[in-house]
Homo-oligomer: A and B are copies of this chain.
Amino acid sequence: MSKTKMRPLTVGLLGTGVIGGGWAARFILNGVDVRLYGRSSSAVERVQEKLASARRAYRRLTQVPLPVEGALTVVNSIPDAVRGVELVQESVSERLEVKQQLLAAASRAAAPETLICSSTSGLRPSLLQAGVDYPERLLVAHPFNPVYLLPLVELCAGQSTAPESLEQAAEIFRSVGMHPLVVRKEVDGFIANRLQEAMWREALWLVRDDVATVEEVDDAVRYSFGLRRAIVGPFRIGGGGNAMRQFMQKWGPELTSPWTKLTDFPEYTDTFLDKLVEQSDARADNLTAPEFEQKRDDCLIAVLRGLRAERYGAGETLARWEQGLRERVAALLTNSSSPLQMPTIEMPSDSIDVNGQIKESRIIELFGVATDALLHLIGVEGEYLSKSGRYKTIETHVSHLRALQAGDRVQIHTQVLGVDDQRLHLFHVLAREGDEEPATTGEQMLLHVRAGNDCSEIVQGNVRERLLELARLHTNLPSPEHVGARVWAKI
């Protein structure tokens, strides 16, 4: 593969459906100009909508600024779409004759060195090469919806495809953030769709036979092995070939059990088992079983935490469980004439970055848990939040005084430094269990604002009384050492 990272300047897209629109979005947001051939103006509008969704998605996906967008030019003919471009990507409907005609026409108008790819979900590229000029530059490049987010693109060569065409295509797709995978044997449905299709057929049987509804089938997937599938495929057992051999010996007999309606399975010979074992040993990352299990767990946690923020699927289950924990913590807190003490926790290893530095954003989250528990204690929760008001942070000062290590047992003490009708002044001290000296301190000023908007508003009713009572107990305590610190302004 060539060493220079080739990013195309312009691509020609044929087809304006979900896949064509997804390609347009991925290329444009990566700074590539797009020439789009669509037959109706409503189709072009749908592409614009897809582009708007993708813009929103990319803003959430990364906080790094994106390149200047490529230009979108809608053209009225196939030749206009394919002239002067580095790559033509066809994404019209899955009808062989339609694709064949379109690809043949595109190949006549495009320069001989222009790559031509088809997004077909399952048609073999050799069939698509019939009638194509310079068929050595035609291949399948099969993406997944939404194209602007899912990285895989399966590359499949037909009988006439030149190996360099595969390499050039892989490089282009890599340059726009994708993961190209070359399919080593031409086969209907390539790899991923064959696997999806098998599961899909079983899913249809389950509904047909009233074992489950469509929603139950979906839930059975997304609350269980579906979470693993974002991380590892079906062959990833943990450990190398030996683990695979044990796994196959344990579960091989189940192939004869009536566990699926799809009973056909490959003959279970020693040669086949050896192949599975050898390939498992030859993986690019050869993690040991315990290393793999830890990586798998870490990734599952990352997925669950991500979904928790969205309160969706397994993330909702996690959020509900955590809410129970949080209420338990709040119930343990009591007004007293000492700072509120959160239960001991251990610093998780993912709160430390690659350089061994504690992540400031995780510390801020920890202080947030303590603040939430305090607000819960004074009654800022449930109906009060939805009808009356809430506290928002307007100022924060964090001092990192002592290094923390993953696994350190730490406690947070939170003291109310002062209150008035609108403001709440807090001081968090995070210290290793048993340490006199704090590891990190956080001083925060919160402002009480009206529910539903951002206007300051005086604190009300019971909350006010409970807050004043807590403040009365706390403000007689000695002021902690780092209160009122400022970042050293003179060096």
- Asked whether A181 is an interface residue with its Cβ less than 8 Å from the other chain, the reply is yes
Residue of B nearest to A427 (CB): B487
A419 to B333, CA, bound (A): 44
Out of B151, B178, B217, B403, which one reaches A454, CB within 8 Å?
B403
A85 CB to nearest B CB, Å: 22
Whether B195 pairs with A202 at a CB distance below 8 angstroms is: yes
Residue A9 lies at the interface, judged by CB distance under 8 Å to chain B: no
CB of A249 within 8 Å of the partner chain: no
A258 at the interface (CB under 8 A from B): yes
Q: Closest CB of chain B to A408's CB: distance in Å?
A: 11
Binds B, one of A34-42, A105-113, A223-231: A223-231
User: Is A210 in contact with chain B by the CB < 8 A criterion?
Assistant: yes
DSSP majority for the A interface? mixed
B192 & A259 in contact (Cβ 8 Å cutoff)? no
The 8 A CB mask of A186-226 against B (1 = contact, 0 = none) is 01111111111111111111111111111111111111111
With A64-B369, A149-B300, A183-B212 known, 9 other A-B pairs at CB within 8 A are: A66-B325, A152-B219, A195-B203, A229-B230, A231-B313, A361-B361, A392-B400, A445-B488, A485-B486
Q: Report whether B390 and A399 are in contact in the complex, using a CB–CB cutoff of 8 Å.
A: no
**Residue A266 lies at the interface, judged by CB distance under 8 Å to chain B:** yes
Decide: B149 and A301 in contact? CB cutoff 8 A: yes
Interface stretch, picked from A70-78, A129-137, A161-169, A276-284, is A276-284
* A122 to B296 CA separation, bound complex (whole angstroms): 24
User: When the two chains form their complex, are residues B306 and A303 in contact, meaning their CB atoms are under 8 A apart?
Assistant: yes
For residue A149, which residues in chain B have a CB less than 8 angstroms away from its CB? 227, 297, 300-301, 304
Type the 1/0 row for A148-190, where 1 means its CB is closer than 8 Å to any CB of B: 0111101000000000000000000000011101011101111
> Are A184 and B201 closer than 8 Å at their CB atoms?
no
**Can you name the residue of chain B whose Cβ is closest to the Cβ of A180?**
B223
Q: Which residues of B lie under 8 Å from residue A403 when comparing CB positions?
A: 454
Residue of B nearest to A320 (CB): B177
The one of B64, B94, B231, B489 in contact with A307, judged by C-beta atoms closer than 8 angstroms, is B231
Which one, B152, B219, B395, B420, contacts A224 given CB within 8 A?
B152
Q: Which residue on chain B has the smallest CB distance to residue A228?
A: B150
Tell me whether B260 and A207 are in contact (CB under 8 A). no
Partner of A198, one of B199, B220, B392: B199
- How many copies of the shown chain assemble into the complex? 2
CB contacts (< 8 Å) of A211 on chain B: these are: 183-185, 187, 191, 194
A26 CA / B275 CA spacing, docked (Å): 37
A490: CB under 8 A from chain B?
Answer: yes
Min CB distance A400 to B, Å, is 5
- Is A97 located at the chain interface by the 8 A CB criterion? no
> Which residues of the partner chain B approach A259 to less than 8 Å between Cβ atoms?
122, 188-189, 193-194, 197
- A-B pairs, top 4 by smallest CB distance, nearest first, are A218-B233, A302-B306, A262-B262, A65-B343
Is the Cβ of B179 less than 8 Å from the Cβ of A219? yes
When distances are taken between beta carbons in the complex, the residues of chain B under 8 Å from A185 are 209-212
**CB pair B210 A233 closer than 8 Å:** no
Task: Tell whether A396 pairs with B393 under 8 Å between CB atoms, given A345-B59, A349-B60.
Answer: no
- 314-334 of chain A: CB within 8 A of chain B: 314-315, 317-318, 320-322, 324-326, 328-329
Q: Which residues of B lie under 8 Å from residue A383 when comparing CB positions?
A: none
For chain A residues 350-380, which have a beta carbon within 8 Å of chain B?
350, 355-357, 360-362, 364-366, 368-369
Known contacts A60-B348, A317-B151; A220 and B191 CB within 8 A of each other: yes
Beta-carbon contact of A264 and B263 below 8 Å: yes
Asked whether, in the complex, the Cβ of B191 is within 8 Å of the Cβ of A206, the reply is yes
In Å, the complex CA distance between A324 and B201 comes to 41
Cβ–Cβ contact B177 & A321, under 8 A: yes
Residues on B with beta carbons closer than 8 Å to the beta carbon of A151: 223-224, 314, 317-318
* A433 interface hit (Cβ, 8 Å): no
Q: Mark A260-293, 1 if CB is under 8 A from B, else 0.
A: 1111111000001001100110111000000001
- The answer to whether B230 touches A226, judged by C-beta atoms less than 8 angstroms apart, is yes
- Cβ–Cβ contact B298 & A254, under 8 A: no
The answer to whether B489 touches A484, judged by C-beta atoms less than 8 angstroms apart, is yes
- Alpha-carbon distance A121/B155, docked complex (angstroms): 36
The answer to whether A279 touches B230, judged by C-beta atoms less than 8 angstroms apart, is no
